[in-house]
């Protein structure tokens, strides 16, 4: 549905923000039928909720709200209830998702973020929601840039947050990345709309809070959110050129087979060192389902092992040489647990066509596939493809050419390279 220019012009000071609220459907060839909004109760997400609600009749979509309660602060349940009351007043369905966790090892914020997106993707998929919008702003972009600088990040770490990405086959969009937090708060103030200030926003234990304070200190030097947004834009343009080169190399050098990958040593080594590095990272992320790239030191170690023609494993992904060919596949012990047919298995496979439980084919399943050698694929590849089971009996192994079922991936490696 095209945006009604007359309606937009009549919205006064709210028009620029409402235009952004309509972006999730504006550039799509097939406008979404249902849109989810991730709402925490803070000013950014509350502004997005109200703006999306106003844009909804013009866009022709249905709106659903979701709040993830990480249970990391005692106030979180009350904040989720606040969002629920506001949504009820707007006539928008709202659900609270609980991150049920014990002690969290490693980076708490990274673990919480991964859990949040995983929960929201599952929620959206169960309700037939086409995409979920997030309320990150230009301020978040600037803070992310400074955090990248503090880590001596390369190009990818200095280009901010992506405006669009996918998690478990669900599209996520950030329509307000070009608006400031002040813009969104001014909208809420203009309409006397409440929000909740998260006390953790003042906790300097978190890197993002320190980056936010650093931004204020840098303002006298002319380093503002607006200026950093321009820098991020220029770097993102350069990043796009690099991504195209990587995607081109991926098409020419890497082959995708049954959810695994392979490349010939000579062709891979002919690529520049930066292209090889990026391809290795993409292989690990595509097969392992990791949102974040592995640590640089681990990528360097992996590259050196492959240069020496040694087998290696990184982040649940195996690199194994067979002659001059390196095969890259899922590590068996890293495969996901059983799920019913039709549900997403191991974060990227869907098996349809018959009933049963989907889990890794494994050695026991491969023994029940008499013609698996006709596929020309190594054991290590087939054993980590999906098998459809009824108890101990294998019903189907689509990648091994056995049984009536079909197995599909959420995205090909080529599409993954283009979208990352």
pLDDT at 326: 98
> What is the distance, to the nearest Å, from the Cα of residue 297 to the centroid of all Cα atoms in its chain?
23
Please write the tens of the pLDDT for every residue from 125-172: 999 998 999 999 999 999 999 999 988 888 888 998 989 888 888 899
Query: What percent of the chain has pLDDT above 70?
Result: 95
pLDDT at 382: 97
pLDDT at 291 over 80: no
Of 72, 18, 413, 29, residue with least CA distance to 252: 413
What is the rounded average pLDDT of the residues 354-369?
A: 96
The three-point CA angle 182-183-189 to 5° equals 80
pLDDT at 27 over 50: no
Average pLDDT, the chain: 91
What is the rounded average pLDDT of the residues 222-251?
A: 94
Least confident range from 110-119, 175-184, 276-285, 352-361: namely 110-119
Q: What is d(CA 90, CA 53) in angstroms, rounded to the nearest whole number?
A: 7
pLDDT at 388: 97
Among 99-108, 283-292, 331-340, top mean pLDDT goes to 331-340
Domain topology for 5-227: Rossmann fold (3.40.50)
Of 73, 18, 23, 44, residue with least CA distance to 212: 44
Sorted by sequence, the CB contacts under 8 Å of residue 54 that are 6+ apart come out as: 14, 18, 21
Name the region of 208 (left: φ>0; alpha: ψ -120 to 50; beta: rest): alpha
Of 118, 152, 356, 153, residue with least CA distance to 239: 153
pLDDT at 26: 44
Please write the tens of the pLDDT for every residue from 58-82: 888 899 999 999 877 778 889 999 9
Of 311, 252, 313, residue with least CA distance to 279: 252
What are 365's two structure tokens?
Answer: 């399943």
What is the rounded average pLDDT of the residues 286-292?
A: 88
Domain definitions of the chain by residue range? 5-227, 336-411
pLDDT at 106: 58
pLDDT at 327 over 80: yes
């Amino acid at each position: 549905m095209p945006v009604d220019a007359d309606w937009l012009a009549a919205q006064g000071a709210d028009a620029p923000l409402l235009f952004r609220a309509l972006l999730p459907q504006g550039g799509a060839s097939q406008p979404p039928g249902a849109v989810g909004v991730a709402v925490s109760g803070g000013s950014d997400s509350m502004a997005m909720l109200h703006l999306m609600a106003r844009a909804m009749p013009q866009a022709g979509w249905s709106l659903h709200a979701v709040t993830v309660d990480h249970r990391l602060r005692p106030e979180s349940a009350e904040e989720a209830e606040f969002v629920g009351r506001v949504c009820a007043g707007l006539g928008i369905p709202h659900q609270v998702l609980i991150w049920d966790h014990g002690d969290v090892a490693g980076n708490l914020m990274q673990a919480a973020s991964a859990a949040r997106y995983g929960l929201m993707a599952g929620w959206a998929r169960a309700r037939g929601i086409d995409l979920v919008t997030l309320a990150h702003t230009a301020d978040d972009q600037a803070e992310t840039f400074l955090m990248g600088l503090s880590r001596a990040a390369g190009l990818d770490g200095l280009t901010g947050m992506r405006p669009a990405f996918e998690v478990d086959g669900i599209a996520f969009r950030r329509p307000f990345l070009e608006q400031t937090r002040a813009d969104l708060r001014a909208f809420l103030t203009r309409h006397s709309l409440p929000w909740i200030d998260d006390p953790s926003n003042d906790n300097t234990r978190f890197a993002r809070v320190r980056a936010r304070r650093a931004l204020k200190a840098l303002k006298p030097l002319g380093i503002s959110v607006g200026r950093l947004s321009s820098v991020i834009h220029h770097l993102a343009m350069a990043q796009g050129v690099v991504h195209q080169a990587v995607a081109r190399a991926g098409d020419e050098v890497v082959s995708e087979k049954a959810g695994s990958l392979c490349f010939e040593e000579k062709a891979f080594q002919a690529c520049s060192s930066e292209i090889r590095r990026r391809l290795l990272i993409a292989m690990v992320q595509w097969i392992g389902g990791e949102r974040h790239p592995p640590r640089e030191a681990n990528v360097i170690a992996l590259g050196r092992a492959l240069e020496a023609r040694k087998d290696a494993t990184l982040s649940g992904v195996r690199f194994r040489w067979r002659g001059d060919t390196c095969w890259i596949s899922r590590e068996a012990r890293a495969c996901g647990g059983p799920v019913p047919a039709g549900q997403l298995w191991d974060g990227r496979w869907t098996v349809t066509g018959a009933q049963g439980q989907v889990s890794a084919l494994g050695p026991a399943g491969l023994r029940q596939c008499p013609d698996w050698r006709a596929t020309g694929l190594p054991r290590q590849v087939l054993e980590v493809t999906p098998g459809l089971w009824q108890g101990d009996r294998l019903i189907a192994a689509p990648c091994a050419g056995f049984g009536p079922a079909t197995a599909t991936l959420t995205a090909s490696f080529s599409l993954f390279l283009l979208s990352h």
